[in-house]
Structure 1
Amino acid sequence: MDPPVVVEGSLPDRINKRDRERKNVIEKRREERQQLAVESEQSSYFKETFYSSCSKVKDMLNTVSSAPISTLPSIFDKVNKEILTLKNYLHQSKMFLKVYDIRKAQENLQMLESDALELETKLLPKKKFGFKNRRVVKKPSDNTHDVTDGLKDLKISEGIVNGSGNQNKKLSSKHGDSACMLLGKVDERLVLDAENVNKNDVLLSDLTRCTVRIYGAPSTLHMVNLKQCTILVGPISSSVFAHDCSDCTFAFACQQLRLHSSSNCTIYLHVTSRAIIEDCTKIRVAPYNWSYEDQLSHFNLAGLDPKINNWNCVDDFNWLSSEKSSPNWSVLEPESRLKSWD
């Protein structure tokens, strides 16, 4: 005798169908609970590890004031490496962290960076900046009017300022007495040479439609309120901090870049960590391609590896989605990149 045929829509079939659906729902909920548990466990582990490491960095910074001055360079080097490691750890963990947790972690990193830079500037002052009497021989050019650091020239004393001057106390207290400063220039072509720049901090502030060439290996570069400027810089041993810049073109090599409140800028970049932007729009990046004589020796002096360049790795603090790219920055198309800087 043939077995009974189950007719679609019959009572047994509907019961079996509901039972399968019920089991599928139970299984789906179980998987969701497991996923939530995993994410919660990952988040808890991240917080414990991240903030524990932050505390260790703070402890190192708290001890530097009493440490022998001979040990300070190695301590600050270790601090900077720990901060960079924390940045990478945060970036890799964003996929399972809440937006609030990401923001709090970023704020902690910003405070650590600021404290470390302030202490390093205070406890390891650079050599005093001064003008040299020797004349720098430059190739003649019919269409340039460079003001070259190193020459006895009235324009130098007006535009390039030692941070210890009385009229610049506010700036020197913020950027250090040794900072070399170019301030308040309009429609000028300015050059700083390696002898005065190497291992010194450089500040460019309130420049409009200026072209600045900086040869050598500065310690840090600060740029504030630049408009329609072209800034070309050799390898920088630590960081570039830029605020309130618009319609500018930059070319520099550095360990890290922090760009704030800026718009419509093109950056030809060599960076060994990851660039960070915040409150920025219309930022374009391309590989660093400015070159000059002795540049390789300046890379060595700055401690930068010419072969390690993360120019297209940009973290936007205003764009926390890991699924879509930030609309605030883009890669400059090769056909649009400058080929010559002359």
Structure 2
Amino acid sequence: MEFNTPSEESLSERINKRDRERRNVIEKRKEEKQQLIVETEQASYFKDAFDSTCTNIKKLLDSAESAPTSSLLEIFDKVNKDILMLKNYLFESKIFLKMYDIRKAQETLQILENDAAQLEAKLVPRKKFGFKNRRVIKKSSDKPSDVTDGLKDMKITEGNAANGVGKQCSKKIYNKYGDNTCMLLGKTDEKLVLDAENVNKNDVLLTDLTRCTVKIYGTPNTLHMVSLVQCTVLIGPVTTSVFVDNCLDCDFAFACQQLRLHSSTNCKIYLHVTSRAIIEDSTKIFVAPYNWSYEDQMNHFKLAGLDHKINNWDSIDDFNWLSKEKSSPNWSILEPELRVKSWD
């Protein structure tokens, strides 16, 4: 009987081990190659779909110039929804796109969004904005009363150069947002109200407010909130998007199609949103379902085109956290016991 010597057994084991390692390397390379092929195909498909949709959006915008006035709202509604869809598609595709392609797509979307907003402002002029320095008197009729009836302890006010914002700064803001934008600028320790008559289908800008309480009734077209500190802002249904930038220690309650939140810290958002909300460069963001209510609010939901039954308040995409395995540490759900029960 023959026996293998220890050295022979050791040699055989080494040969088998190296063979297994070689096979593993080959298999790994095959997987990496296949993954590269898949990602390349995905990137190619994304580019084709993205470019095709952008082309269709441009055609819609070109057609708006000669379209009858009655169809303009439908055209711009379609354009805004397609741009929003592309933004969500881009975010979902980031995992296999190169940084250059992501930046290029973002720039393309920004240009489209700006062109659409400028053209809509040109072709669908909104009611000239102006605050009324009086409280609406409730009249006895079958027509629904204005939601600001009875708010005698609040005031409707407009921020301007005389209210703490320099003329040069004010001019820049008006040039950027347009003279049809409702603006509250440079306020401290005040209670402010915008009513539906002034707000409906207008853009709204709140900026440089400190320790203010703001109530906005009606259906703004878009809402911009910039540089707010320790403020509480309660808003009715917004037709399109809410943009929040550089806000600190604030409580917000609003409904919208899309939320974009940038560079903000320690904010609580009571949210109703029909798409996925997006945050970027933000920390300590807490979300809860939208729970502010007021008279005639359901009619405002209809006017804004929002379905009050569809609410993705807890579906947040963080542009600074691309991992799908772990949740972003920059936002969380506000515990029920910590939520505001009544805003009155």
Assess, with a 3 A threshold, how the Cα gap between structure 1 residues 200 and 19 changes in structure 2: closer, same or farther: closer
Sequence identity percentage: 68
Q: Which residue of 1 aligns with 2:23?
A: 23
Partner of 1:50: 50
Structure 2: stretches of 5+ with no match in the other structure: 139-147
Matched, 1:316 2:314: no
Q: Which residue of 1 aligns with 2:97?
A: 97
**TM-score normalised by length of structure 2:** 0.83
- Distance in 2 (CA, whole Å) between partners of 1:14 and 1:170 is 75
**Runs of 5+ unmatched residues, structure 1:** 150-155
Tell me the CA shift for residue 204 of structure 1: 1.6
Q: Which residue of 201, 204, 218 maps to 1:202?
A: 204
Shift of 1:13: 6.0
How has the CA–CA distance of structure 1 residues 140 and 40 changed in structure 2, closer, same or farther, with 3 Å as cutoff? closer
CA distance in 2, matches of 1:39, 1:341: 49
Distance 1:6 1:47, change over 3 A: farther
What's the TM-score, normalizing by structure 1? 0.83
SS of residue matched to 1:327: coil
CA contact (8 A) 2:222 2:238 kept: yes
CA separation of 1:108/1:187 partners in 2, compared to 1, >3 Å: closer, same or farther?
A: same
The amino acid that maps onto 1:102 is: I
Conserved in 2, the CA contact under 8 Å of 1:264 and 1:282? yes
- Residue of structure 2 equivalent to 1:152: none
Matches within 5 A, 1:57-136: 57-131=57-131, 135-136=136-137
Residues 289-320 of structure 1 show CA distances to partners (whole Å, capped at 9, x for unaligned) of 11111111111111100011111222223333
Residue matched to 1:172: 174
Per-residue deviation, 1:92: 2.9
Q: More deviation in 297-306 or 190-199?
A: 190-199
Cα offsets for 1:59-85 (capped at 9, x unmatched): 433443344433321221111121122
State which of 147, 154, 157 in structure 2 corresponds to 1:146.
154
Q: 2:255 aligns with which of 253, 256, 277?
A: 253
Asked whether the 8 Å contact 1:215–1:233 carries over to 2, the reply is: yes
Q: Give the letter aligned to residue 136 of structure 2.
A: R
Residue 116 of structure 1 aligns to a residue in which SS? helix
Question: What SS does the aligned partner of 1:293 have?
Answer: coil
Task: Go from structure 1 to structure 2 and tell me whether the alpha carbon gap of 1:243 and 1:123 turns closer, same or farther (over 3 Å shift).
Answer: farther
Counterparts of 2:123 and 2:150, CA distance in 1: 42
Determine whether 1:274 maps to 2:282: no
In 2: Cα distance, 1:210 partner to 1:225 partner: 12
Work out the CA distance in 2 between the residues paired with 1:185 and 1:15: 79
CA drift at 1:253: 0.4
Q: Structure 2: how far apart are the matches of 1:278 and 1:15?
A: 53
1:290 paired residue number: 292
Aligned equivalent of 1:41:
41
Question: How many pairs were matched up?
Answer: 327
Q: Residues 318 and 40 of structure 1: is their aligned pair in 2 closer, same or farther, counting only changes over 3 Å?
A: same
Distance 1:304 1:213 in 2: 19
Q: Tell me, what secondary structure is at the counterpart of 2:64?
A: helix
Separation (CA, whole Å) in 1 of partners of 2:115 and 2:149? 43
Displacement of 1:58 in angstroms is 3.0
Structure-2 separation of matches of 1:103 and 1:210: 37
Q: Secondary structure at the match of 1:232?
A: strand
Question: Are the aligned partners of 1:99 and 1:320 in contact in 2 as well (CA < 8 Å)?
Answer: no
User: What RMSD in Å do the two structures reach over aligned CA positions?
Assistant: 3.0
Q: Secondary structure at the match of 1:95?
A: coil
Specify which of 225, 228, 233 is matched with residue 226 of structure 1: 228
